[in-house]
């Protein structure tokens, strides 16, 4: 089995790490620089930094904070929020990001995916998709889940891959923050149609949920926030459990 990745996520608002349920009711989860350093030391395989209010507020990602976080890390670092151009991405990569992730801007102007991959390579470009179940279909939502589209999840994921995306970060809005497990059926359907890695997001509540995301959902990586931020799951313990289930991860403890 190929190695899997465990990815803590820092959702950033007003310079602080926050976390909510179903994309609302945000609460403070700590200082992003301190959390990033801790996760790097504890054996995270990668780290994701999402400036969740940048798109809504029509501003750039917090580049200076990205620089501070990157200085604490020795693991791959993905940054997103408010990226609308090659120049926006270039600033973040210059400040220490290894990859950039785009969401709303990519749906609104799909050529952005091509432009980023042409300039930086597919390995640098992650397309994030926030989707919610509507009448038995997974529908893509924009601007932090506030704006529904008429685009179906698999349709958009397939186009993103065709345009050069190196990975898909799929967040189930229905599962986000609920701690009831990932959207494994939808994940499995994505793995059937895509040839690029899929990161599962939304719903982690215990170690078994990660096992299920990798076995039932067949995800390549699993991302979580609150269970790590508030100490409900310890990264070293999770890595040991995955190892016992014969699910190897990139970083060996």
Half-sphere exposure at residue 39, Cβ-oriented, CA atoms within 13 angstroms: 34
What is the mean pLDDT of each successive set of 10 residues along the chain, which is 253 residues long?
90 71 53 90 94 56 86 95 93 96 96 98 97 94 88 98 98 91 98 98 96 98 92 94 93 61
Half-sphere exposure at residue 107, Cβ-oriented, CA atoms within 13 angstroms: 25
Instruction: For residues 218 and 162, give the distance between their C-alpha atoms in angstroms, rounded to a whole number.
Output: 21
Amino acid 24: pLDDT:
47
Q: What are the φ and ψ backbone dihedral angles of 88, each rounded to 5 degrees?
A: -60, -45
Amino acid 25: pLDDT:
45
Residues taking part in catalysis? 11, 130
Q: What is the pairing mode between strands 137-142 and 125-134?
A: antiparallel
Ordered domains of the chain (ranges, CATH):
5-244 (3.20.20.70)
Amino acid 2: pLDDT:
79
């Amino acid at each position: 089995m190929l190695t899997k990745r465990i990815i803590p996520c820092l959702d950033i608002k007003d310079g602080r790490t926050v976390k909510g349920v179903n994309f609302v009711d945000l609460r403070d989860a700590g200082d992003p620089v301190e959390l990033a350093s801790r996760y790097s030391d504890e054996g995270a395989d990668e780290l994701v930094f999402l400036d969740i209010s940048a798109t809504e507020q029509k501003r750039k990602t917090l580049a200076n904070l990205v620089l501070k976080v990157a200085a604490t890390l020795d693991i791959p670092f993905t940054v997103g929020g408010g990226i609308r151009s090659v120049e926006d991405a270039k600033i973040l990569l210059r400040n220490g990001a290894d990859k950039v992730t785009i969401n709303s801007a990519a749906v609104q102007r799909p050529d952005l995916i091509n432009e980023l991959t042409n300039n930086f390579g597919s390995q640098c470009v992650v397309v994030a998709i926030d989707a919610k179940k509507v009448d038995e279909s997974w529908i893509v939502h924009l601007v932090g889940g506030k704006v529904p589209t008429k685009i179906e999840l698999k349709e958009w994921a397939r186009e993103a891959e065709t345009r050069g995306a190196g990975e898909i970060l799929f967040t189930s809005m229905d599962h986000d923050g609920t701690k009831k497990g990932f959207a494994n059926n939808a994940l499995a359907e994505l793995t059937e149609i895509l040839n690029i890695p899929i990161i599962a997001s939304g719903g982690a509540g215990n170690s078994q949920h990660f096992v299920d995301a990798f076995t039932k959902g067949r995800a390549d990586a699993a991302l979580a926030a609150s269970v790590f931020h508030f100490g409900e799951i310890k990264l070293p313990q999770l890595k040991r459990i995955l190892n016992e289930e014969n699910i190897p991860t990139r970083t060996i403890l």
